[in-house]
Amino acid sequence: MNAWPAFIGLGANLDDPAGQIERALGAIASLPLTTLVKRSALYLSRPMGPADQPDYINAVAKVDTGLPAAELLTELLAIERRQGRQRCADQRNGPRTLDLDLLLYADLVSHEPALTLPHPGAHERDFVLVPLAEIAPRLVIPGRGRVSELLAGCIDHGLCRYDPPATVATAAALAG
């Protein structure tokens, strides 16, 4: 099987966002002809759209896949729907249970209406670049440059590493 590297951005701010991201990573790892190679830590960021919504949890995953780019995107959209995502044309950048973006697929550049690669805006968003730099600091975004160098000019969304709150069981285990 020929496998190509692809990078997927994950974001959520409704219905247990950290859990939504973890479930999505499991679903991505289960896709046909696809191996989850690496995933970033979780990051907390302010919303890019309307301010009257909860903060986002974000991450980036690297996969090796034998699926063509368009088919991988179709699978990602299906995962979103299974996890309760309802796309509304009038609610761009609004709150969501899950957002899966195909950021990069090998070195493919595409300007098709259904598939734009690299993902527009990925090169200037901290909630994409910081997790990308964590798992692939030497990665080059075609037409934009090396991830590590793009970080200097990215938009600040108040990004910080997210450590899920300890549960009572976890706290008890740590104390004992």
Amino acid at residue number 55: D
Active site (annotated) includes residue 156:
no
**Is 92 labeled as catalytic in the residue annotation?**
no
Active-site residue identified among 46, 55, 64, 101: 101
C-alpha to C-alpha distance for 56 and 11, rounded to whole angstroms: 6
- Active site (annotated) includes residue 101: yes
Candidate list 15, 81, 99, 156, residue with the active-site label:
99
Selecting among 39, 96, 125, 126, the annotated active-site residue is 96
Partners of 93 in beta bridges? none
Among 23, 81, 85, 163, the one annotated catalytic: 85
Find, among 18, 45, 10, the residue nearest to 156 by Cα: 45
Dist. CA 102–CA 87, nearest whole Å: 16
Annotated catalytic, 96?
A: yes
The residues assigned a catalytic role are 85, 96, 99, 101
